[in-house]
Structure 1
């Protein structure tokens, strides 16, 4: 079965599974976006094992077509920028799609509901990671949150600054570490800066606890959460460097950026601080 056949079957299956989109008609050139949208909109719940296997085959082939990038293929900041600090061989900056990275774990900038982004084809990192991982990721997050709600009440939401780990399913990575970053409304404050530090510290501690050797960070809280990019990068690099100084078990941290401006910012910050 080729990708076109898998895509058609998946579209039919997700439409049949939906209450609102059973009769959805999709133009051929819009099929991939329609599939992603249906996955984004779908609430947690079981699906037949054969259907999940079909989804997995499709998403893994998509990952291969996009091109999987291993940590070993990414130069360190020593090689990339000529930085010679003690940590220069353990830190990298890589520009691209985080869903291509075969790190031990990638960090997801989650929301407090922890179920991924429900906005069809939204450009946030939460949407990208859940879409590439498959619907099992939302299901595992749902089960995790259900356990917490039994402990803390039905209105429980994931607090800012913590970290939770799940499997990565159809991503090239092995795990996803989810963290809820601070949302900036108006001016930046010291408390918001501390919450962002907490995000990085929690993710690093989680990585250490789960024997993760390579960890890829997205730009937590920038973009949709409006944290200023330059200050976010300074906090990310300083917090990570301080942790790595005390913890040799994490062998490589990758700062993943997508925009050219963030690449320039991270280069400047690293040249000053590493």
Structure 2
């Protein structure tokens, strides 16, 4: 069976669970790129329920092949910041990083992004990890019994990601202007993730730009808080060999380069 046929089978399995989206699915052309986009959208929309028999094997085979096609990045082989061998700046897709853990900028429900094909980091990570990630997050949240506050870090497996684990943290939402509490909360997110990584004995952790997207924290100030917090706390965790500041946009890369180099 070819790749398009495999994607089609997965789409049909999801639509059998969610028939209310059949009309929406009919808008996607019958070609591989469009059908793959439909699959991602359906995975985004799918509630955290046990999957149909056979789905996970097919999904995992597809995501594994896509992971290898994109290429896994060895984070310990990335060039370090001059004079700071434990820090690294890298621009690219965080779902390619073969780190012990990558950080996900989550929302308080901690179930991922339900907007189909949305461009947020939460959506990207859940889409590359597979539907198991939402199921694992649901278990954590059901056990907790309330929304996730800021300045915490929840750990799940990475599933189909090259990273072994995902650290989910909820950053502050900036309403109008950045307040002192926003700054403290953002620093607390980096602290919680770094402490979790250090406490687990991991050697590498990759941070995204927490709160700078939908949560509207200004990029320049967020980058300064990220770098300052990591620099301050890293001496507490000698087992961590590499902290990667992962950025996706050219303007964010420039901000971090100014702070690190």
* Paired position in structure 2 for 1:100: 96
* Paired position in structure 2 for 1:14: 14
Tell me whether 47-56 or 260-269 shows the greater mean CA deviation: 47-56
1:37 maps onto 2:33 in alignment = no
* Paired position in structure 1 for 2:5: 5
Q: Structure 2: how far apart are the matches of 1:55 and 1:35?
A: 10
Structure 1 ranges of 4+ moved more than 6 A: none
- 1:39-95 CA-to-partner distances (Å, cap 9, x unmatched) read 0001010013421010000011111111111113311112xxxxx2xxx11100000
Matches within 5 A, 1:1-274: 1-22=1-22, 24-25=25-26, 26-29=28-31, 30-78=34-82, 84=83, 88-149=84-145, 156-271=146-261
- 1:149-185 CA-to-partner distances (Å, cap 9, x unmatched) read 1xxxxxx210011100000100110000000000001
Q: Structure 2: how far apart are the matches of 1:263 and 1:49?
A: 43
Q: Structure 2: how far apart are the matches of 1:5 and 1:211?
A: 42
Q: What's the secondary structure of 1:108's corresponding residue?
A: strand
Relative to the length of structure 2, the TM-score reads 0.96
Q: Structure 2: how far apart are the matches of 1:174 and 1:182?
A: 26
Q: Structure 2: how far apart are the matches of 1:187 and 1:217?
A: 24
Relative to the length of structure 1, the TM-score reads 0.91
Q: Is this contact kept in 1: 2:42–2:116, CA < 8 A? A: yes
Shift of 1:127: 0.3
What are the ranges of 5 or more consecutive residues in structure 2 without an aligned counterpart?
none
Superposed CA RMSD in Å reads 1.1
Q: What's the secondary structure of 1:241's corresponding residue?
A: helix
Q: What's the secondary structure of 1:47's corresponding residue?
A: coil
Shift of 1:19: 3.5
Q: Structure 2: how far apart are the matches of 1:144 and 1:223?
A: 25
Q: Structure 2: how far apart are the matches of 1:200 and 1:231?
A: 14
